[in-house]
A and B are shown apart, each in its own frame.
Chain A
Amino acid sequence: MMKIPTVAWREFKHTALTKAFIIGSIIVPILIIPLLIVLPALFSQDVEPLKGTVVLIGPDVLEATEVLATGDRISSGQEALEQTLEQLPEGTVDPMSKHMASSMMGSDTELDLAFQRGELDELEKLKEQVRSHELTAIVVLQDGILQPSPGDKANRFEVFVRPGLSARHLEIIDDLISDAVVETRVVATGMKYEELRTMMRSPRSDTMRLQEGGGEAVEYQWAKRLIPMAFMFLVWIATFSSGNYLLTSTIEEKSNKVMEVLLSAVSPFQLMAGKILGQAFVSLVTLVMYGGLGLAALFALSQADLVPISMIIWLLLFFGMAYFMIASIMASVGSAVSDLHDAQSLIGPAMMILILPLIFYFPISEAPNGMLAMVTSWVPPLIPFIMIVRVTASGDPVPLWQILGTLIVGYGAVIVMVWFCSRIFRVGVLMQGKPPSPLQMIKWIRYK
């Protein structure tokens, strides 16, 4: 029985304790953290100030020009971002990430723009001045754009910008003009723009979900979306990466012709079991590493209660189920072919299992106890991916009987899949030459 651990240890050692794995899976994520800290500073340093003169042309641009010249404009994009950030619970977003997000939106861009009026018959001359960088931009407003109810045709303006003006600066000019036009319209009706804007701010909700057994829990809308996505991708990445390692290492053993030497010492089942177990630990390392980083971030933000211990237990159980399903398929495909190219046509079933949850993610995370979620939760290859979304997404908890039932069905399916795949593995490892068709692989199951 020591043969399976021996194979597993070799598999783990030659995957996880290699430079490629350490650099790819451990060092890169670790490097990302300081980068997240450093990048915002780099971004803010890189943003060039927007300076120069913008000429406004139009029949009644006087008011708009005054608004632009005197107003402390905030772009609509930044306003939306600020609203989003403010809706997050207190302490959720640290000052650094707020800084980064706002700098990405350009709030740190230094503005030093002068606005002046121009005439339409001077347009060509002004364009020459823009080309020669004397002016930054020309804005031509359509007739009637400042009316309270402009038609679609009137509600437009043209912008001519100097060569080399960045897309970000162009966006700022667009936003400034749009905002000034709206303010001019509002002021023309006698209302105060600042008051109106304050009134237009959507109120923030603090949702409490009442529990069936009594009590209530805070409902974090953002967490409801982010946590299931994070959990599903965690399972997905850990499973997919180790499945790939398993596929390539099995193909390597076949193409290096070391397979028959191994089979003289261990049975095909022992070999497959050892390889799958070894890669399971590799997969677990990936899961713990990325999951641990996520948990550490939540602890740092005092939001650790968003991931209760039960959620981690479900994660481990459904991860195990997903891993063994994908790994057994990958091992059997790897055994049947002699190079990666041949494997591509045979890993369709494994890829389908991995792709379908991505397709179903949004409808299921929106309605974790809906019909689609309920049905797909009982389809064996999809169970782990769908269930991990459901148990982490639902403010309305998934009934325990469904979780336990899907665990039983899922692990039952794992046993069946491992058995079928070991039958294929046993024959495949000895096959040489042309890769088999999926039908031939199914026939191998019946071989004695």
Chain B
Amino acid sequence: MGAEPTISLRNVNKQFGDVHAVRDLSLDVHRGSLIGFLGPNGAGKSTTIRMVMSIIYPDTGTIDVLGDSALAAKDRIGYLPEERGLYRKMRVGEYLHYIGKLKGMPRSNAISAAKYWLDRMELPKVDRKRCEELSKGMQQKVQFIASILHEPDLLILDEPFSGLDPVNAELLNEVIRDLNAQGRTIIFSTHVLHQAEQLCDSILLIDRGEKILDDTMEGIRQTFDPRTIEVEPTIGNELPVAIEGVAHRSNQGEHGIELHLEPGRDPQDVMQRILASCPVRSIRLRRPTLDEIFVMLVRDRMHETHADLVPGGIDS
């Protein structure tokens, strides 16, 4: 991860009429990172991305992209928007050459790059087909190719996996990792949080136009302490006695019964009580998922109340 940020936003504000889409947003995306850009619907993700793409401009604040203004860096950015499509009557090859040329590629380079990527994305012999003749998944892959054809330094992918079957999703996953390994910065926006958790090395979460989380995955795991114990009893599916410190239990999960701790309880203390009360096949302290962290943070802001996960460690 390089020291110079690929994207740098400083006190960016954007308002549409009475709606304050982005509020005083400052953030840095470091070169070579693969960052998950998350947020609930209407959080301001698309507005922020559009400002980075210089499709729209901030009311106040500054945006630097790849060491330049957002507009000047446009040809060095690849963008796969969530609302995406193709010219239905255009042939696949012609479409890719067109987008390549718009991104500043010489025609010959666009042709050879399109050929390479169509092969790499397992779309051989489709360049003469009209876009409307392709299946939804194939169209999705063509759209992805259009975003990476010009070898961008920064790649912004908004829901890149939607519409793909597991095989193609895995192929895309592999390509994204390869591109990141080549040193390209990738911003990955999605609502499927477990994909972000698997793919990204850091997470940026915004809500109502404000940044509420900006950390590496490791940092997030350290910050959000585990508050759930998974127990698999040796006999039966239930613990024989009530365990002190457990607020409530939920149905049998993948790894046994899920016990959610009372606020302030030491998980190690509760685990020892469980082991003392009955024989168990397995017991583990489960990390919070990104879904849980997301829900907790967003819900906190909505209701200004705490859920059962408390950031910042165990109260003692």
Minimal beta-carbon separation of B64 from chain A (angstroms): 18
Question: A6-21: contact bitstring with B at CB < 8 Å (1 yes, 0 no)?
Answer: 1100100010000000
Question: B245-269: contact bitstring with A at CB < 8 Å (1 yes, 0 no)?
Answer: 0000000000000000000000000
The 8 closest A-B pairs by CB, nearest first: A257-B85, A264-B79, A265-B102, A260-B81, A256-B85, A263-B55, A258-B85, A257-B83
The docked-state distance in angstroms from the alpha carbon of A300 to that of B34 is 72
Q: B75–A267 contact, CB under 8 A?
A: no
Q: A261–B143 contact, CB under 8 A?
A: yes
Which of B86-94, B187-195, B216-224 sits within the interface? B86-94
Minimal beta-carbon separation of B286 from chain A (angstroms): 39
Chain A residues in 8 Å Cβ range of B103: 265
Q: A3–B86 contact, CB under 8 A?
A: no
Interface presence of B56 (CB below 8 A): yes
Contact of A430 among B55, B59, B84, B98 (CB under 8 A): B55
Interface presence of B204 (CB below 8 A): no
Interface presence of B99 (CB below 8 A): yes
The docked-state distance in angstroms from the alpha carbon of A216 to that of B99 is 60
Chain A residues in 8 Å Cβ range of B74: 264-265
Interface presence of A204 (CB below 8 A): no
* Interface size band for B: 20 to 34
Chain B residues in 8 Å Cβ range of A447: 16
Tell me the chain B residues, 64-116 only, with Cβ under 8 Å from chain A. 71, 74-75, 77-79, 81, 83-90, 98-99, 101-104
The docked-state distance in angstroms from the alpha carbon of A448 to that of B86 is 29
Chain B residues in 8 Å Cβ range of A448: 57, 59
Q: B79–A261 contact, CB under 8 A?
A: yes
Question: A254-296: contact bitstring with B at CB < 8 Å (1 yes, 0 no)?
Answer: 0011101111111110000000000000000000000000000
Q: B101–A264 contact, CB under 8 A?
A: no
Tell me the chain A residues, 236-263 only, with Cβ under 8 Å from chain B. 252-253, 256-258, 260-263
Chain A residues in 8 Å Cβ range of B16: 447
Q: A257–B59 contact, CB under 8 A?
A: no
Tell me the chain B residues, 44-60 only, with Cβ under 8 Å from chain A. 50, 53-57, 59
Q: B53–A258 contact, CB under 8 A?
A: no
Contact of B90 among A2, A14, A432 (CB under 8 A): A14
Chain B residues in 8 Å Cβ range of A6: 98, 101-102
Given contacts A6-B101, A7-B102, A261-B146, is CB(A268)–CB(B55) below 8 Å?
yes
Question: A413-435: contact bitstring with B at CB < 8 Å (1 yes, 0 no)?
Answer: 00000000000000000101000
Given contacts A260-B81, A261-B99, A448-B59, is CB(A267)–CB(B86) below 8 Å?
no
Minimal beta-carbon separation of B18 from chain A (angstroms): 12
Q: Is the interface of B mostly helix, strand, loop or mixed?
A: loop
Given contacts A6-B102, A7-B102, A264-B81, 20 further A-B contacts (CB under 8 A): A14-B87, A14-B89, A14-B90, A256-B86, A257-B85, A258-B86, A260-B81, A261-B143, A263-B55, A264-B74, A264-B79, A264-B147, A265-B74, A265-B75, A267-B54, A268-B55, A430-B50, A432-B83, A447-B16, A448-B57
Question: A49-85: contact bitstring with B at CB < 8 Å (1 yes, 0 no)?
Answer: 0000000000000000000000000000000000000
Minimal beta-carbon separation of A380 from chain B (angstroms): 30
Minimal beta-carbon separation of B101 from chain A (angstroms): 5
Chain A residues in 8 Å Cβ range of B78: 264
Question: A73-104: contact bitstring with B at CB < 8 Å (1 yes, 0 no)?
Answer: 00000000000000000000000000000000
Minimal beta-carbon separation of B29 from chain A (angstroms): 17
Chain B residues in 8 Å Cβ range of A263: 53, 55
Chain A residues in 8 Å Cβ range of B53: 263-264
Minimal beta-carbon separation of A344 from chain B (angstroms): 23
Chain A residues in 8 Å Cβ range of B99: 261, 265
Minimal beta-carbon separation of A2 from chain B (angstroms): 8
The docked-state distance in angstroms from the alpha carbon of A257 to that of B86 is 7
Residue of B at shortest CB range from A432? Answer: B83
What are 26 inter-chain pairs, A to B, with CB distance below 8 A? A2-B101, A2-B104, A10-B98, A14-B87, A14-B90, A252-B87, A256-B86, A257-B85, A258-B86, A260-B83, A261-B79, A261-B81, A261-B143, A262-B102, A263-B53, A263-B55, A264-B53, A264-B55, A264-B77, A264-B81, A267-B54, A268-B55, A430-B56, A432-B83, A448-B57, A448-B59
